[in-house]
Amino acid sequence: MTSSLPEILGECLEALEREGLTLDECLARYPEQREALRPLLSAALELRRAPEAAPSAEFQRVARARLLNRLPDRAAAPRRRLGWLALGWPRWQRPSLRWAASLALVIALLGGTTAAYASAGSVPGDGLYPLKRSLEEARLALTFSPVDKTQLRVEFAARRLDEAEALLQQGQPGQAEALLSTYETERAWVTQTLTDWSDPRAQALAAALAAHDARRAALAGRLWPTAIAAQVTATASATASATITPTPSATRTPSPTVTRLSSQTPTPRAYPTLIETPIVTHIVAPLPTDKVVVPPILSRYCWPAGVPTPEQWPAGWPTPDPNCEPLPIPTQICWPPGVATPDPSRWPDGVPTPDLNCWPDRRATRAAELATALPTRWPTDWPTPDPSAWPPGNWATARPTDWLTPDPGNWPTPDPSAWPTSSGNWATAWPTDWPTPDLNDRTPRRP
């Protein structure tokens, strides 16, 4: 039987690799293909002799610590609850897709349509969510056309975005971030599949994926720390110093100053103006990068007064304080990409508008970043302020001047008709570190 040139080339390369033959010895085995094989084998050998590229010594020195600091907490990942259905198993230990397909059939036969329908709107943490994901797996298992299968994957990837959006609205950014990560994994597989295709439907799927990518980018923009995870500066190298300025160029960029205090001073909180909306209305200034690793003892975040603030402040960060020390209005404000800028109508005259193009290039600060070996992610175990530990009497003095002072005499009476009737979800938007409101007690008080 005559072998094709690719096969002969493969055999010859394997002989070089396994038997230790020389190039000429290998060519002698295939005299007819000798001339065709020689340049190909030479190129292969040249590649094999390629210098052994290795990460820089600095990178290797801190690699493990850097990685471990970047790893998200998987404890925050969605947990599955329907243990008896075996859905709580780690996925790789779970029964096969054939089993999942059988499950889908059983559910269908036993009138499980209602459950399937009910699970459609579920999100991680809901009891029906594992069912939703299992049904997706079952549909994939029962789909044999590669095109249809990829179409399903695109559809399911979009569902992860729906879920991430829902979780963001519920104030669960950690789980939303995990879903975006799942989306990216699915997306990577789909794009790889599409590159191998000539099917006309591939174009439509690529277009659908592009639309989903836009949604994903918008969601990532709302997830503060991850949206700028790649934009890391290293000016925080002086970890021991009391003041850390997280922008690399003090002359170009305003310097939100992080002040480390020696004790667990709590973060000042806003008074709610309405009991249903205990949301801070003003926070301050150009954002720091997530490279500014603030140790847990830090609890104040100083910011230039007069600089408008982003609309969304990352959960878990100390509330910025424009009153802790005077900071001048900067001449240029470099705004991190991916973080929504404040409403232009709030932007005062005389303050430079945010510049999205001047955020420092990571490369420029890379060496210092590696040398400091600081974690690249905001600590997930950021301590929640304990209201009972707040200093008596003076904690409100650091409150921003533009926050409203509540007047108990004008405290609004909650409108019972506007109160959510369902007991299922109204409490989820309540800050986790605030006491659960007592609906029967309308006496004004600090939250």
Partner 1 sequence: MPPRPPNPADADLVAKAIAGDREAFGDLYEHYLPAIYRYVFYRVGDAGEAEDLTETVFVKAWEALERYRPTEAPFAAWLYRIAHNLVVDRHRAQKPVDPLDEHVVEVRPEADPAAQAEAREAASALAQALKKLEPAQQEVLALRFVNGLSHAETATIMGRSAGAVRVLQHRALAALRQWLKKAESK
- Interface with partner 1 by CB under 8 A: which residues? 5-7, 9-10, 13-14, 17, 39-40, 42-44, 46-57, 59-60, 63-64, 66-68, 70-72, 74-75, 77, 90-92, 178, 181-182, 184-185, 188-189, 191-192, 195, 230, 363, 366
Q: Report the relative pairing of strands 320-321 and 354-355 from DSSP bridges.
A: unpaired
- Which secondary structure element, helix H or strand E, spans residue 40, and what is its range? helix 34-48
CA distance 245 to 257: 5
Nearest approach, Cβ of residue 166 and partner 1 (Å): 20
User: Do residues 317 and 284 touch, judged by C-beta distance below 8 A?
Assistant: no
Residues whose CB falls within 8 Å of the CB of residue 77, separated by 6 or more in sequence, listed in order: 124, 175, 178
User: Do residues 419 and 426 touch, judged by C-beta distance below 8 A?
Assistant: yes
User: Do residues 322 and 304 touch, judged by C-beta distance below 8 A?
Assistant: yes
- Helix, strand or coil for residue 354? strand
Tell the burial category of 165 from Cβ atoms under 10 Å away from its Cβ (0-12, 13-18, 19+): middle
Residue with smaller CB distance to partner 1, 191 or 249? 191
CA distance 215 to 179: 13
CA distance 352 to 78: 42
Place of tokens 């010594």: 57
Nearest approach, Cβ of residue 14 and partner 1 (Å): 7
